[in-house]
Amino acid sequence: MSNAIEIKNLSLSYGKIKILENINFSIPEGDFVSIVGPNGAGKTTLMKILLGVIKYNIGEVKIFGKDVADVDPSLIGYVPQIKTMDRSFPALAIELVTSGITRRWPWFVTGKEKQKSLEALTLVKAENLANRTLSELSGGELQRVCLARSIVRNPKLVVLDEPATGIDAIGEADLYNLLEAYQGKSRATILMITHDWYVANHHSDSVLLLNRKQVSFGPPAEALSENNLRTAFGHIGHLHLLKGVK
C-alpha cells in the first residue's frame, strides 16, 4: 500500500526558536491517525505544513508521493477549528459546503453544486441545515456542516483540527461515527489533531505524540505509553482510563 503522507527529517524554526525538530513518519493510505501533544507542541504548525500554508525550513514532506507545494488541494479536505470561524459572516450552510467544491466563495450556488452539497450534507445527517445561516447553527451543527464541506470534494485525505472543540459529548460521538462511516465508504486517510488521549486511543490506527520533537509514532497502545506521555506532557493525567495502554 502506498503512503498518503511521508515526512522525512522535517524541521522548522523561526529565528532561533525551534518549532518542529526532526519529524519522521509515514501514514499509509486509508489509515486513521491522531496527532496528540500539549499546547504549543507544534501540532497545528505541522498540520499547516501539510496543508501547504506554512513553508518548512528543512526536510521533505510528501503527500500522495508529491511535494506538498505541488499537491492538488482538491485531494485534501480540511476541517478547521470552529471556534476560530467567523459566524457573523452572512452565509447559508449550503454556501459553505459549496465553497468546498469551488475552492472560492460562491456568488450563487448552481443546480449541480447544490445537488452535490446536499448529498454531502445528507451523508453527515445535516441536510435539514442547508438553508440555515451560520449564526443559526449550534457548535455541533456547524461542525457537521464543516465536515460535509471537507468531504464534498471526495478528498483522499481529510485533515481535522481539534474537531471536538466547542461541541457537546453527544455531538462529539456523532462526529466520530460520521467520520468513521465516511472513511469506511471512501477509504480516505484521516489525520486528526486532538487533545483527547481517549479519542486518539479509541479511533486511531496510529498516533503521533508530539512536543516540538517526535516523542513517538505507532499503534496507540505503544505511542501513548506511560513513558511517552510523561515525556510529552510531563505527567500521565488519567492514563488509567485508556484501555490497552501500559
Partner 1 sequence: MFEILTLPFMQRALIAGIFVGFLSSYYGVFIVQRGLGFLGSGLAHAAFGGVALSVLLDQEPLWIAVPFTIIVALGITYVKDKTSLGGDTTIGIFFAVSMALGIIFIFLKRQYSSDAFNYLFGSILSVTLADIIVPGILILVTIIFAPFWKRWAYSTFDRELAEADRIPVRLDDYLLSVLIAVTIVVSIKVVGIVLIAAFLVIPPATSRLINKSFSKMTFTSLVIGVLTALVGLWISYYLDVPSGATIILIQASLFFIVMIIKSIVH
Among 28, 52, 59, 218, binds partner 1 (CB under 8 A): 52
DSSP-assigned letter for residue 92:
B
When the beta carbons of 73 and 219 are compared against partner 1, the nearer one is 73
As measured in angstroms, the least distance from the Cβ of 37 to partner 1 is 20
Q: In what order do the strands lie in the sheet with 32-36?
A: 66-67, 58-63, 3-14, 17-28, 213-218, 206-211, 32-36, 189-194, 157-161, 76-79
Q: Most distant CA pair in the chain: distance in Å?
A: 55
Residue span 97-126 as binding mask against partner 1, x where in contact by CB under 8 A, dash where not: --x--xxxxxxx------------------
* Count, residues in the chain: 246
> Which string of DSSP letters, residue by residue, matches 97-118?
HHHHHHSS--SS--HHHHHHHH
Which lies closer to partner 1 via its Cβ, residue 20 or residue 82? Answer: 82
Task: In whole angstroms, give the CA distance from residue 116 to residue 120.
Answer: 6
Interface with partner 1, residue 183, by CB under 8 A: no
- State which residue, 32 or 78, has the beta carbon closest to partner 1: 78
* Nearest distance from C-beta of residue 21 to partner 1, angstroms: 24
CB of 89 to partner 1, least distance (A): 5
Window of 27-35, 85-93, 171-179, 196-204 that interacts with partner 1 by CB under 8 A: 85-93
- Stretch in the footprint of partner 1 (CB under 8 A) among 94-102, 111-119, 225-233, 237-245: 94-102
CB-CB neighbours of 132 under 10 Å: 16
Q: Cα 115 to chain center, whole Å? A: 25
CB within 8 Å of 135: residues ≥ 6 apart: 87, 88
CB of 218 to partner 1, least distance (A): 28
Provide, rounded to whole angstroms, the least separation between the CB of residue 7 and partner 1.
Answer: 18
Return residues touching partner 1 (CB under 8 A): 51-53, 73, 76, 78, 80, 84-86, 89-92, 95, 99, 102-108, 133
